[in-house]
Amino acid sequence: MFELKYNYLKPIYLLLLISFVSCGTIKYKKTSTESLPELGTIGAYTNFLTGKDYQPKTVVNLTNPIRLSYKEILIKKRTYFNKKDSTVIVKDSILLSFEILDKISLVKQLNSDKELLKYVSKSKNYSLVSQVTIHFPDSIYTTINKADELYLIQNKQKTLSLELRKNNKVFDQIEFTEGSIVSYKALEFCWGQNKRRELEIFDLVSKGSKCGKETNTSIKKVKKKNEFKY
């Protein structure tokens, strides 16, 4: 009888454990093979209790560099158990978090790309990755620390990279693939209509946040509201 009751409650304990872990701070494992979306990626990103579902679709087309901010995140040494029930010790690690600082310039460049604008407007589920937290090798970390300005740029292969500047001069370029992305944040599009009643992106906001006046994350609501105005 006790064994039957234990087996019945076991899934409930497991669910509670998953819920507790998912609400914690960044969990970083060097052995993770998970590939998360890069900064500037547009796609469908959904949060679930046990993790995230992400489907990158395309990247923004940048004609001008976008200014970034960044900060260091210290992950303390700790012990955890992997899937094989063996003990693994993670040493102190420093992660770097990069976030798009100049959203105004980004929105202007999004609106100037009419093909991308048309593509993004087809789904209300699309959002843009505006922040990523990455673990880089020590050599790259040291190089990044020499920069006094960081920018998101688009290279000849149409992929996005980190541009490092010091004293207003470019001295290096880092690819996101040179590190391991361990977390990300995506922003939703706030849609509105310009004076010619054309759809445009007016702002980027966190999921669940309200857009400004005359704008909405739902294109249908924007069109419906403007129909009443005219």
Residue 155 has pLDDT above 90, yes or no: no
Q: Which is more confidently placed, 63 or 208?
A: 63
The SS3 call for residue 127 is strand
* Residue whose tokens read 């005219």: 230
Residue 3, in any domain of the structure: no
Residue 15, in any domain of the structure: no
Residue 135, in any domain of the structure: yes
Residue 86, in any domain of the structure: yes
Residue 205, in any domain of the structure: yes
Residue 150: domain span: 37-229
Q: How far is CA 145 from the centre of its chain?
A: 22
pLDDT at 2: 41
Residue 32, in any domain of the structure: no
* Residue pLDDT, tens place only, 53-111: 666 678 888 999 999 999 999 887 655 444 455 554 556 778 999 999 999 999 999 99
Residue 178 has pLDDT above 90, yes or no: yes
* Residue pLDDT, tens place only, 23-62: 334 554 544 445 788 999 998 887 544 455 666 678 888 9
Residue 103, in any domain of the structure: yes
Residue 46, in any domain of the structure: yes
Total of domains in the chain: 1
Residue 8 has pLDDT above 70, yes or no: no
pTM: 0.75
In percent, the amount of the chain with pLDDT more than 70 equals: 71
